[in-house]
Structures are given as structure tokens and as C-alpha cells.
Structure 1
Amino acid sequence: MAALISGDRLRFVLSRLRERLWLKPFVVCLLSIACVFAAKIADSNALLIQVLPSITAKSLDTLLSIMASSMLVIATFSVTSMVSAYSSAANTATPRSFTLIIADDASQNALSTFVGAFIFSIVALTAVKNGYFERAGLLLLFCLTAVVFSIVIITFVRWVDSIARLGRMGSTINKVEAATAKALKRRRDAPTLQGGRMQSPARGQPVFAVNTGYVQHIDMAMLQKWAEEAQVGVVVAALPGTLVGPGRPVAYVSSSPDHPDDMDFTCVIDAFHLGVDRLFDDDPRFGLVVLSEIAGRALSPAVNDPGTAIAIVGAFLRLFTQWSEPVTKGSQQSPKYERIEVPEISIQDMFDDAFTAIARDGAGVVEVSVRLQKALHSLATIDDLEMRNAAGYHAQLALKRARLALNVEEDIAVVQAAAQFSQDIVSSKNYSPLNYKQ
């Protein structure tokens, strides 16, 4: 039972629900209906009926009619604007950013408010026309209607400012960077997903997934509970973001010789949640890939927007700097799944995801090449040997591409000067590409 209600699993489920566009409007509609019938409570108090001023049903009828007719138009307009923004984000940035755009709180709150106000007005109007409320109920319903009107006006003004930015390149980059930073921080605080550090190459009996897809989430609590009951050890072989299929094990189970060979691995397979798409939550590398895709599209001949690629390089610098920050005692998560071994994410893989496409597509643009070298130089100064080696390797690789793509000697000289630091790294005794984690 503990595995089914673990905090990590609950976070994953709530994140998926947050991406559903219908959830908030549905909840607000229920609250709107509840508010209408809650006004009937005032009619049961005889003292309130005598003290409170009277509101005619006709005036309330007119007010609710205006709200009902206008809210449906505004809700339709909001949906049209949101769909346009989603299409713009997919076309100008990358389709992989769609889940972040659709989960935008401002747009969901606006749509929920408009639809909720429409349902509120329709239900209240029907109740008023059928004489459901008495004197106190009508007054309370009038007050609720005024409150709803105020909320709608404030939401509409704020939403207009938000929808002007939704789907734009800068807004999309910020959303992807924020999601990636959140995933990186979570993985930095728990590099082995609160399991034990993998001490040796994967060993034991391989466990294969039934379906093909990307690992979106690993339920560590479920794995730990099963391993304790079976008295075995589990080695995770597929981190979130890994594409698994036939011949690609998700885990290895190590057991003593007296364990049966036909163990039931259903719980192990179920602990790995697979899907057709990668997700940002538990997969920091996916955010790096999406940012790299945005930069690659910006550097294509059809778009020719080096400024966006430079902005992405700055985002990578911020993200990797955050990754290298020491973990504070308050945020560090101590291992609590001692029967599970998990490999750590590789700096080499993250640098490959981030900088390969920019170095390749921006090799012929001198300003992008120089900014890339400067960013790698900054990362190389961080007190982290693995990151220093990765920065030196990618700086040398980007320099080779720039030499082949640039035609002007002065441009090549500028890039070479910016990449001079990498030569010192490559020539040092601590440098070797073979030192990278696989």
C-alpha cells in the first residue's frame, strides 16, 4: 500500500493531471453549481429574511442573462486564442514544448473562470426563473454574482497580458528552461533516485518490459517493497528517458542461489511507467534536448535566427551552473531504498544533448561559435573535473566544425582565440574522453 501512495508517485500523477486542459474547468464548474445552491441556505434563516434588503428577481434575471450571453463568447474566444498560441509554439519552437504550453496556469485559470462563470449564470438563471430562491437567497445570489463579475474582469485583464506572450519564442524558452531546471534540481538532490549508488556493471537476471516506449517514471517505493518481500536486490538499467523495447532490459534482479528461477517480475515491470513520449519531470536530459532543438531550428537557413541560439547557450550555462552547485543539507535526499542500485546521470550525455546540435548547426555563424566557446569556458572553470573535461572536449569539437564551416580567416581566428582554454584542458594529464561515464 505504501508503494501505491508514495509521494513521488503522487507527484507524477498530479503532474499528468495538470497537463489535462479539461480538469480545472471541470472543477470550477462543480464549484459554480455548488455556489448557486449554497445561496438557498440564507432562505432558511428567518432573521435574515426580515433584516436584509430585498432584490427583485427581475433585476437579477437581467444581470444573469447578460453574464450568460457574454461568458460563452469570451470562453470561445479564449479557446481560439489558446489553440493559436499552441500552434505558434509548435511551429516556431518545437512540438516537444507543447505539454508545457498547454499546462500554462494563466490560460487554464482564465478558461476555467470563463466557463465556470457561464455555468454559474445558467444554473442561477434557471433557479431564479423557477422561483427557487426567496428574499435572502436572492440577495446572497446577487452578491455572489457581483463577486463572479469581479473575478471575471480581473482574470480577463490579466489573461490578455498573458496570451500576448503565450506561444512566443521567448516565453517558450523560459518555460522549457524552468521545467529543465526543476528536473535537474530534483536529480541533483537525489542523483540515484534515493536508491543506492551502482557499484559495478549491471548483474543478475535481466527483466524486460512488456511494451515498447520511453521510461517516464520509476516507482522506487514499489520496487523497494517487492525487493524486501522477495529478499533480492534490484539494479535499475533504464533511467527515465530511456527507450526500451525487445532486448533492452529495464532492470536486473540479483538473488541468492536458493531463490527459484521462475520468479514473478510483474511488480518490477509495473514499477517502470512507459509512454510514447518523454516527459520533463524525471528526465532532465529531455529538457536539454528540447532547448537544443529550438536552437537548431533557429539556426536553420529557413529561419536564420542566431539570436535565439545565443539565448539557448545562455540558458545552458545557467542550467549547468545550477547543476554544479553544492547540495544543501536541507534539500539533499538521503538514500532510503537500500535494495535498489541506480546509475547516476552522466555529464557527458548531458553535454552531448545540449551542445552537439548548436555546435553543428551554428558552426558557420561566428557569433554563435564564439558565444558557445565562452559558455564552455565558463563551465570549464567550475570545480568539477568531469564537467571540465566535457567542456574541453566539446570546445575542441566545436572548433573543428567552425574551421570547416567558416570561410574567412579572421572569423576562424576569433573562434580559435575563444577556444584557447580547451587546448590546456585537452593537454592536461587529467583529461581523457575515456574518463566519461558511459
Structure 2
Amino acid sequence: MSDWTVTQGPPPGGRPRVLSPLREHLRDTFWFAPTTAMVGVFLVWVGAQEVDSALVSALQRDGEFEAVADLMRFAEDARAVVNAVSSAMMTFIGVVFSISLVAVQMASGQFTPRVVRLFVRSRITKATFAVFLATFVLTLLVLSSFESGADPRTVASVPLVQSVLTLVMVGLSLLLFVLYVNATLRLMQISHVITRIATESFRVAASMPVPDRDTDAPDLGTATAWVPHEGRSGVLRDVHVARLVRVARKHGVVLRMIPRIGDFVVAGTPVLAVHGGPAPPPRALRYTVSVGLERTYHQDLGFGLRQLSDIALRALSPSVNDPTTAVQAVDRIVQLLAALSRRPLDAALYRDRSGKVRLVQPVPGWTALVDLGFAETRGSAAGSPQVTRRMMAGLDDLLLLSPPDRREPLLRHRALLRQAVERRAASSAERAFALRPDRQGIG
């Protein structure tokens, strides 16, 4: 019998958690933050211009023309600074862009192309680009506000607040540049990349429905209708859980996802099975399933293990030959599997407010996760005692943590690892050394 993950009902009077994938999709884009920053700085500039106009008008009404003249002299001095900042910001943007390209190219070549997403999702990288572009746009807007040779009695505005705001943005840009260089250097270190992957994977596991072993899986019976995938073909990135639950509740049916997150979905193939009634109208199911060119962290429980396995395989390839990196990847694979060893898997059940199951979503089972974490790495590690010793120790630890009904795939991988080493090692002493469990590999 399959394990099931079941959501608990919301508290009385509480609102169900909205599981919209929009936030995750925006995190996977690079245009949103800079565009928002440039629009925001334009609105701030409009407000600063209004403040400058109000300040000059107040001084002129009070007859403080000498103060207006002082403000104009300060603005003329600040004009040279703003002009210099405007020219320098484009150079800074070019430097940041070049550093990012080098870091992405290095990470893609040495680790795996799938870790490029970490650079795209980096908050400090987006913030740096956003603030730099916003500062450049602000300097252009401020330069357009200067009036040369104006009479203090008739001048409409003096860009005092605008100039101060520009200097503040310059200081913020310099601070972010230092933080950006530090963050980029860390992202070029494999240990930090592996840690980030593990962190994202734990976040996905934590966002899954709360397990409840006391509730049995409902008998859905035979499907009464099928919903085909409409639109382009691609990798299933995520589903809008809250909307699907609302649609199923409104039409009195249970929806069951057929493909798993990360599967490639072809247009026209069934994506939802309907149980208990006719299929909801296509308009109600619009924008509930999202496909893309590649997998994302959102709702994808196996994507982290996929990346860690890819890093280990790349490290064990003859062109790289870096078993220490493979050991670091195995460390996190064991950590993730240990965290999932006692969680119900195979499917996630989502309930409506009344506690009735409305959506069944398949998730990777325990055997699939163990195979994903160890199968390919095990096949490439037979000639590296450092990695085989770490894998033996990791499998032994997982055997201690896992319940009895989940030990079979672990025992299978340990036996296959032993067979691979025995075929590869020339002597019994080498075989014994390579199969001795060691959490550090070889020190």
C-alpha cells in the first residue's frame, strides 16, 4: 500500500494557505526586479521634484531669495557630481554583468548547467542590477531638472532633494557592489552551491502537506473524465494547488494529477483525471498547470537530488576527477534522504475547508528518491575509494534511520556497490579498503 501525505484542515475561521506559483516564477526571472526598481525610482523622482518645487515656492513667498540663490549654487556644485555618477554607473553595470557571465560560465562547466538557476535566483545579484540601473535612470532624470542661469525670483524648482537622493543611491550602489562580489565569490565555491541546493530542497519538503499517518487514502474509484493538457509541450513546473482545490470543491469532484512535477508533458495528453463527476469546464482550469523549458525548485521534491547527483557525476568524470566534490554531494544526498526517510511519500492529498480530499498529486516515492540519489553516482564511483567509502557510510546511516519497510532499496544499492567495487579492485586488500565505511571518504 502506498504512503500518503495528507493536509490537515485549516483552523476554524482561518484562511487556507494560497499556493500560487507566481512568486516562484518571478524569482526565476531576471527582468522583474530591475524593471520594478526603474519604475519605482521614476515615481520617487516625481515626488522629489514636487518637494523641491514646494520648497522653492515657499522660500519665494517669504522673500528668501538669497536662500534660493544658495540652493541654486549648491545644485550647480552637485550637477558635476551627478554628471560623473551618470557616466560611471554604466561602467559599474558592465563590470557586474561581466562578473556574472564569468561566474555562470564557470559554474555551468565545472558543476552542472542546472546550478545556473542559483545565480538567476540570487537576491543580491538582482538587487545590485536593480539599484545600479535605478541609479543610472535617476541621474538622467535629475540632470534634466537643472536650470542654468535662472533668476532666484522666477526659478520654478531647484533639484536639492533630487541631488541628495542621487548621492544616497550612489552610496547604496557601492555597498551592494561589495556585497555582490562577496556573494558571487561564494557561489563559485562548490561547497556553498551544494549547501544552497540542499537548502532549497529542504524548503520544498517543508512546503509539502503535513503528514498524517492516521488517515487512510480515499478510494477514488474509476476515473469519470480526463482533462488533456492544452498549450505548449514542456516540463511540468508546478500546479496552482489552491485554485484546483477550489474548482474541484465547486464542481463536487476529486482531481488527480497524472504527471508528476518534473515530467515532460506533451500537448493533448491527459494531465488530470476526474473522479466523481464530469470534468470542470476548461475555463475553470485555465492557468492551473504551468509548463516550462526546465525544472524548478517549486513543488519538485526530486530536483535537488537530481542536481546533487549531476554534480557528483561531473566530479567523477575523467575530465574533472574531483572525488572530494563528489563526497560533498553525497553528504547532502544522505542528509536529504535521512530527512525524508520517515515521511509519507508517493502522493500528496489536498483537502478543502470541510476536510474532504479534492486534489491528489503524485510525488516521488522512497525507492525512486533513493535510486535518484545513489544509482548513477554508484555506477561512476567504483574506481574511487574515497566516494565508495562515503557511500557505504551513508547507506549504513540511512539503514539505521529508515523504518524496516524502507530498507530494501538501501540494501540493494549497498549490494550493488559492493559488487561494482569487487569487479573493479584487483586485490582483496583494495576491496576491503574501498568498502570500509567512512563519513569523510578518506579523511
Give the TM-score range, shorter chain: 0.7 to 0.9
Shift of 1:99: 1.9
Shift of 1:72: 0.7
Contact 2:186 2:192 in 1 (8 A): yes
One of 271, 276, 279 as aligned partner of 1:255: 276
Alignment partner, residue 28 of structure 1: 37
Between 1:198-207 and 1:119-128, the stretch displaced more is 198-207
Specify whether residues 38 and 251 from structure 1 end up closer, same or farther in structure 2 by C-alpha distance, changes over 3 A only: closer
Taking the aligned partners of 1:21 and 1:122, their CA distance within structure 2 comes to 23
Contact 1:89 1:172 in 2 (8 A): no
Contact 2:305 2:373 in 1 (8 A): yes
Specify whether residues 270 and 38 from structure 1 end up closer, same or farther in structure 2 by C-alpha distance, changes over 3 A only: closer
Taking the aligned partners of 2:32 and 2:212, their CA distance within structure 1 comes to 33
Specify whether residues 110 and 321 from structure 1 end up closer, same or farther in structure 2 by C-alpha distance, changes over 3 A only: same
Matched pairs, number: 404
SS in 1 for 2:262: coil
Contact 2:145 2:158 in 1 (8 A): no
Matched, 1:118 2:136: yes
In the TM superposition, structure 1's runs of 4+ consecutive aligned residues that sit over 6 Å from their partners are 130-133
Taking the aligned partners of 1:88 and 1:23, their CA distance within structure 2 comes to 25
Alignment partner, residue 203 of structure 2: 182
Matched, 1:90 2:99: no
Q: Deviations over 1:331-368 (max 9, x none)?
A: x9984362333445301111111111111111111110
Q: Which runs of 5+ in 1 are unaligned?
A: 420-438
Specify whether residues 375 and 55 from structure 1 end up closer, same or farther in structure 2 by C-alpha distance, changes over 3 A only: farther
Specify whether residues 394 and 67 from structure 1 end up closer, same or farther in structure 2 by C-alpha distance, changes over 3 A only: same
Q: Deviations over 1:93-121 (max 9, x none)?
A: 11112222211111111111211111111
Matched, 1:18 2:9: no
Matched, 1:44 2:65: no
Alignment partner, residue 66 of structure 1: 84
Specify whether residues 248 and 394 from structure 1 end up closer, same or farther in structure 2 by C-alpha distance, changes over 3 A only: farther
Higher helix share: 1
Taking the aligned partners of 1:288 and 1:201, their CA distance within structure 2 comes to 33
The higher relative CO (CA closer than 8 Å, separation ≥ 6) is in 2
Shift of 1:33: 2.2
SS in 2 for 1:120: helix
Alignment partner, residue 426 of structure 1: none
Taking the aligned partners of 1:287 and 1:274, their CA distance within structure 2 comes to 18
Task: Give the TM-score normalised by structure 1.
Answer: 0.81
Specify whether residues 395 and 199 from structure 1 end up closer, same or farther in structure 2 by C-alpha distance, changes over 3 A only: farther
1:25 alignment partner AA: P
Contact 2:224 2:274 in 1 (8 A): yes
Specify whether residues 407 and 190 from structure 1 end up closer, same or farther in structure 2 by C-alpha distance, changes over 3 A only: same
Map 1:205-220; keep pairs closer than 5 Å. Answer: 205-210=225-230, 211-220=232-241
Alignment partner, residue 10 of structure 2: none
Shift of 1:8: 4.2
Taking the aligned partners of 1:270 and 1:105, their CA distance within structure 2 comes to 27
Map 1:31-430; keep pairs closer than 5 Å. Answer: 31-40=40-49, 41-45=51-55, 50=64, 54-56=71-73, 57-129=75-147, 137-187=158-208, 189=210, 197=217, 199=219, 203-210=223-230, 211-245=232-266, 249-255=270-276, 264=281, 267-268=284-285, 271-324=288-341, 335-336=351-352, 338-418=357-437
Shift of 1:221: 2.8
Contact 2:38 2:137 in 1 (8 A): yes
Root-mean-square deviation (Å):
3.4
Taking the aligned partners of 2:405 and 2:299, their CA distance within structure 1 comes to 22
Taking the aligned partners of 1:116 and 1:73, their CA distance within structure 2 comes to 14
Shift of 1:264: 4.6
Between 1:41-50 and 1:353-362, the stretch displaced more is 41-50
Identity in percent: 20
Contact 2:323 2:387 in 1 (8 A): yes
Taking the aligned partners of 2:210 and 2:25, their CA distance within structure 1 comes to 22
Specify whether residues 119 and 212 from structure 1 end up closer, same or farther in structure 2 by C-alpha distance, changes over 3 A only: closer
Contact 1:204 1:255 in 2 (8 A): yes
Q: Deviations over 1:184-216 (max 9, x none)?
A: 222364699xx9946578744444324533221
Shift of 1:136: 7.7
Specify whether residues 61 and 246 from structure 1 end up closer, same or farther in structure 2 by C-alpha distance, changes over 3 A only: closer
Contact 1:89 1:95 in 2 (8 A): yes
Q: Deviations over 1:104-147 (max 9, x none)?
A: 11111111121111111111012114789969843322321221
Specify whether residues 218 and 190 from structure 1 end up closer, same or farther in structure 2 by C-alpha distance, changes over 3 A only: farther
